[in-house]
C-alpha cells in the first residue's frame, strides 16, 4: 500500500502529516497527489464524494508548489459555503505549519470584510474563498489575482446548484490565462462540462468510486408515515436512540427552523442551521454540535455543506432531496473512518417510488423499517429513567430537603412511591407523544387504508399561551373537562390566543358541548371542529350552537388567533 512519503511530497510536509496521525492516503489522494505534483503543471478533474479526503488531495500539493519567497497570492480555492471554506483553510493551514513561509487566509461573507482586508495585507500564498465575498474584495482592490498559478474549484457541482456560475466566470477572468485549474466535484453535469471546455486544457480526470465505501459503512433505511406524523416519528427514534448524534436534513429554511422550535419546546436537544442565521450564530451552533451539546442538528442542504464532524450515528431526511445525488452527500455525513452509521428517510406512501430511484441510481439497498411502537418507547424510557436514578450521585442538600418535607411520604411505602414516579414518566409520554399509537403507513403499492387519514378530528380552542398555558397544561385541561383519556389526544399546536389539537374520532363524541359554560378569566371557552372554527361557529353558554361573529375579528383572525388592529 502507498504511503504519503512515496507520493512525491516534501519531507517537511510528510513529517507534518505523520505528526497529525495520517498514515496512508485515501484512493483519491493516492491518485491525485502525484499527478498534481508533476513537473509539467496539468489541469485536473477529480470526481469524488464528500468524505473521501479530497481537501488533502489538492491541499498538500498546493503547499509544496508554493514559492514562500513570493508574497503574492499564488493559489485560489473556491468553495460554495462559509463552513466549507473555513474547514478547508483550517486543514490546509494545519498541513502548512511545517513549511516555512506559506500562509493561508480565508474570506467569506457574513464576517467583517475590514478584518479580512487587513489579513490579506500580510504575505499570503493561498486564499480559500466563497465566490460572493471574493468578488467584493476584487471590486475593492483588496486582493490581486494577477499572479495566481493554481485555481481549485471545490464542490463545483454545488457551486453551480447555488447559482455561482456567473461569479465563477467573473473571478476566473481576473486570473492569468496560463494558470492551472483543478476541479473537484461529486457529479459531472452539463454545466461542469461547460467550465471544463471553456477554462481547462486537456485535463486529466480521476474518478474514485466512493459509493462502495458508503454502502459498506452506512445502513440505508426508510419509514413510511403521513407528512403530519413525520416529526412525531422522528421524536420516537430520538427517544429510542438516546445516544444519537446526527443531522436531520430539511428542504427549506422555514421548515428547518419550525421543526427545531417544535422539538426544543418539547425538551429535545436540537438546534437549527440555515442561511438566515448570522455568521456568529452559525459558528456558535457548529461549536455546540461538535462538542456533542445537542442530540440533533437540523439543517438545510446548503448550510450543511462542509460540515465535518466525526462519529455521527445518524443522518435523517425529513424530506428527500430533489437531486438524487444529494442523498449521497447527506448520508455521507455518517459512516466515516470505518465507523458504522444509519441513514433514515421519512417518506409518505406516494414517495416510495423515489426510494427505488435512489437505489437504482446510486446502487444501494434500502431497508423498510417501522416507527417504534409506543410500548417499545415506554419500555426504553422507563429503563433509561431507572438507570438515571441508579447512577445519580446523591446531592449533599438532599437530606435537609427531605427533612423539610415533614414526612409527607410517610403514608407511602417504597413501592407506592415508585409506582407514582413511574406514572409521571408514562404520563409525560402520553402528553408528548401524540399522533396515535401507530405512526406507520402502508406502501402505496399495498392495501392502503384511506380511512386512517380521517381517524383523528382536528379541533380549535380559544385558549393560548397568553392564558399562561403550556401544551402539557392544555392537554390536562381538555382531558379533565371532556373526560376523554389523554392517550386519545393527538398533536397539539398552541399559539398566542388559541390552539389546535387532534382527538381520536372514536372518542370525541360531543367534545365541544363538554365546555359549554366553562370560563377562564370571564371568557367563555369555545371548542369546535377546526372546520367550524374557520366558519366562526362556536359553542356558547346558551346550551346550544349558534353562529357568532365578533366584529373585532375577521375569519382569518379566528384561524390564526389574532386580534385585528
* Per-residue buried b or exposed e for 133-172, using 16+ beta carbons within 10 Å of the residue's own CB: bbbbbbeeebbebeebbbbbbbbbbbbbbbebeebbeebb
Pair 389, 358 in one domain: no
| 519-520/523-524 β-pairing | antiparallel
Residue 449 lies in a domain: no
Is 446 contained in some domain?
no
Report d(CA 549, CA 141) in Å as an integer.
Answer: 64
* Model pLDDT for residues 379-433, shown as the tens digit of each residue: 777 887 788 788 888 888 888 888 888 778 888 888 888 888 888 777 665 545 5
CB of 537 within 8 A of CB of 548? Answer: yes
**Would 450 be classed as within a structural domain?**
no
Strand segments (E) across 392-465: 456-461
Indicate if 160 and 20 belong to the same structural domain: yes
Sign of CA dihedral 501, 506, 510, 514: negative
Q: For residue 527, what is the enclosing H or E element?
A: strand 527-529
- In this structure, the answer to whether residues 388 and 491 fall within a common structural domain is no
Per-residue pLDDT for the chain (565 aa), expressed as one digit of tens each? 578 888 989 998 999 998 888 878 888 999 999 999 988 889 999 988 766 788 999 999 999 999 999 999 999 999 988 888 998 999 999 999 878 889 999 999 888 999 999 999 999 999 999 999 999 999 999 999 999 999 999 988 888 877 788 899 999 999 999 999 999 987 777 778 888 888 899 999 998 754 444 457 899 999 999 888 999 999 999 988 888 999 999 988 889 999 999 999 888 899 999 878 887 888 889 889 988 889 999 998 876 666 778 789 999 999 998 777 678 878 888 887 778 899 999 998 888 888 988 888 778 899 999 998 877 777 777 887 788 788 888 888 888 888 888 778 888 888 888 888 888 777 665 545 544 567 877 665 433 333 344 477 889 899 988 887 888 788 888 988 898 988 788 878 888 788 888 888 888 888 988 998 888 777 889 998 875 444 433 333 333 333 333 333 343 333 333 333 3
- Using DSSP, state whether 526 is helix, strand or coil: coil
Q: What is the CA radius of gyration of the chain?
A: 29
Last residue of a domain, one of 162, 194, 209: 209
Do both 149 and 66 map to the same domain? Answer: yes
The answer on 165 and 72 residing in a single domain is yes
Integer Cα distance of 272 and 455 in angstroms: 32
- Bridge-based pairing of strands 150-153 and 126-129 is unpaired
Q: How far apart are CA 170 and CA 137, in angstroms?
A: 13
Q: Which of 296, 295, 302, 294 is nearest to 277 (CA)?
A: 302
Structural domain includes residue 361: yes
Q: Report how far Cα 430 is from the mean position of its chain's Cα atoms.
A: 27
C-alpha 190 chain-centroid distance: 29
Question: Are 412 and 500 within one domain?
Answer: no
* CATH code of 522's domain: 3.30.70.330
Asked, for residue 398, whether it belongs to a domain, the answer is: no
Residues 383 and 368 in one domain: no
Q: Any residues with CB less than 8 A from the CB of 234 and at least 6 apart, and which?
A: 248, 316, 318, 346
Q: Is residue 138 part of a domain?
A: yes
Given a contact cutoff of 8 angstroms between Cβ atoms, the answer to whether 49 and 214 are in contact is yes
Owning domain of residue 39:
4-209
Can you read off the three cell numbers belonging to residue 75?
A: 493559489
Residues 198 and 216 in one domain: no
**Of 139, 141, 122, residue with least CA distance to 72:** 122
C-alpha 282/C-alpha 487 separation (Å) is 39
| pTM confidence score | 0.55
Number of structural domains (the chain) is 4
Residue with the three cell numbers 464542490: 155
**260 contacts 382 by C-beta, under 8 angstroms:** no
Considering the domain architecture, whether residues 93 and 81 belong to the same structural domain is answered as: yes
Distances, alpha carbon 175 to alpha carbons 75, 178, 197, 253, 416, in Å:
10, 9, 17, 35, 78
Answer yes or no: do 241 and 172 share one domain. no
Query: Do residues 30 and 162 share a domain?
Result: yes
381 and 344, same domain (yes or no): no
Domain final position from 209, 234, 268: 209
Q: List all residues 6 or more positions away from 16 whose beta carbon is below 8 Å from its beta carbon.
A: 94, 95, 96, 97, 98, 99
Asked if residue 561 lies in contact with residue 544, where contact means CB atoms within 8 angstroms, the answer is: no
Amino acid at each position: 500500500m502507498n504511503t504519503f512519503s512515496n507520493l512525491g511530497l516534501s519531507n517537511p510536509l510528510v513529517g507534518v502529516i505523520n505528526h497529525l496521525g495520517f498514515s496512508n492516503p485515501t484512493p483519491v489522494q493516492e491518485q491525485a497527489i502525484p499527478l498534481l505534483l508533476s513537473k509539467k503543471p496539468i489541469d485536473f478533474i477529480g470526481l469524488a464524494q464528500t468524505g473521501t479526503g479530497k481537501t488533502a488531495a489538492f491541499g498538500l500539493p498546493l503547499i509544496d508548489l508554493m514559492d514562500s519567497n513570493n508574497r503574492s497570492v499564488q493559489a485560489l480555492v473556491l468553495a460554495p459555503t462559509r463552513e466549507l471554506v473555513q474547514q478547508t483553510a483550517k486543514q490546509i493551514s494545519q498541513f502548512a505549519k511545517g513549511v516555512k513561509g506559506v500562509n493561508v487566509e480565508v474570506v467569506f461573507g457574513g464576517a467583517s470584510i475590514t478584518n479580512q482586508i487587513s489579513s490579506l495585507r500580510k504575505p499570503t500564498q493561498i486564499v480559500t474563498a466563497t465566490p460572493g465575498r471574493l468578488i467584493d474584495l476584487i471590486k475593492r482592490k483588496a486582493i490581486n489575482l494577477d499572479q495566481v498559478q493554481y485555481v481549485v474549484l471545490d464542490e463545483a457541482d454545488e457551486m453551480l446548484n447555488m447559482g455561482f456560475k456567473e461569479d465563477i466566470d467573473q473571478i476566473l477572468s481576473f486570473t492569468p490565462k496560463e494558470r492551472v485549474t483543478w476541479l473537484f466535484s461529486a457529479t459531472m453535469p452539463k454545466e461542469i462540462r461547460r467550465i471544463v471546455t471553456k477554462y481547462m486544457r486537456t485535463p486529466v480526470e480521476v474518478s474514485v468510486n466512493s459509493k462502495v465505501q458508503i454502502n459498506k459503512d452506512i445502513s440505508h433505511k426508510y419509514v413510511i408515515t403521513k407528512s403530519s406524523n413525520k416529526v412525531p416519528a422522528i421524536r420516537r427514534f430520538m427517544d429510542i436512540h438516546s445516544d444519537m448524534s446526527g443531522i436531520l436534513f430539511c428542504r427549506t429554511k422555514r421548515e428547518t427552523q419550525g421543526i427545531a422550535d417544535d422539538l426544543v419546546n418539547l425538551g429535545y436537544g436540537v438546534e437549527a442551521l440555515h442561511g438566515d442565521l448570522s455568521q456568529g450564530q452559525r459558528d456558535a451552533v457548529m461549536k455546540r454540535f461538535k462538542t456533542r451539546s445537542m442530540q440533533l442538528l437540523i439543517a438545510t442542504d446548503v448550510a450543511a455543506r462542509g460540515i465535518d464532524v466525526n462519529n455521527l450515528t445518524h443522518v435523517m431526511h425529513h424530506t428527500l432531496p430533489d437531486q438524487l445525488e444529494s442523498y449521497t452527500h447527506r448520508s455521507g455525513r455518517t459512516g466515516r473512518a470505518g465507523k458504522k452509521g444509519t441513514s433514515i428517510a421519512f417518506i409518505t406512501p406516494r414517495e416510495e417510488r423515489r426510494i427505488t430511484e435512489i437505489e437504482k441510481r446510486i446502487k444501494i439497498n434500502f431497508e423498510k423499517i417501522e416507527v417504534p411502537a409506543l410500548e417499545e418507547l415506554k419500555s426504553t424510557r422507563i429503563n433509561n429513567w431507572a438507570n438515571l436514578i441508579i447512577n445519580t450521585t446523591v446531592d449533599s442538600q438532599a437530606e435537609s430537603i427531605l427533612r423539610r418535607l415533614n414526612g409527607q411520604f410517610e403514608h407511602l411505602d417504597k413501592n407506592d412511591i415508585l409506582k407514582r414516579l413511574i406514572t409521571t414518566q408514562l404520563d409525560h409520554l402520553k402528553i408528548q407523544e401524540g399522533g396515535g399509537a401507530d405512526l406507520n403507513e402502508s406502501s402505496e403499492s399495498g392495501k392502503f387504508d384511506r380511512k386512517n387519514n380521517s381517524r383523528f378530528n382536528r379541533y380549535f380552542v380559544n385558549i393560548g399561551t397568553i392564558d399562561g398555558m403550556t401544551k402539557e397544561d392544555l392537554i390536562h385541561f381538555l382531558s379533565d373537562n371532556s373526560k376523554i383519556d389523554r392517550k386519545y389526544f393527538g398533536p397539539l399546536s398552541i399559539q398566542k390566543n388559541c390552539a389546535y389539537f387532534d382527538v381520536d374520532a372514536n372518542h370525541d363524541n360531543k367534545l365541544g358541548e363538554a365546555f359549554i359554560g366553562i370560563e377562564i378569566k370571564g371568557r367563555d371557552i369555545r371548542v369546535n371542529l377546526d372546520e367550524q372554527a374557520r366558519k366562526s361557529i362556536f359553542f356558547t353558554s346558551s346550551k346550544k350552537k349558534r353562529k357568532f361573529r365578533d366584529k373585532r375579528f375577521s375569519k382569518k383572525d379566528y384561524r390564526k388567533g389574532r386580534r385585528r388592529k
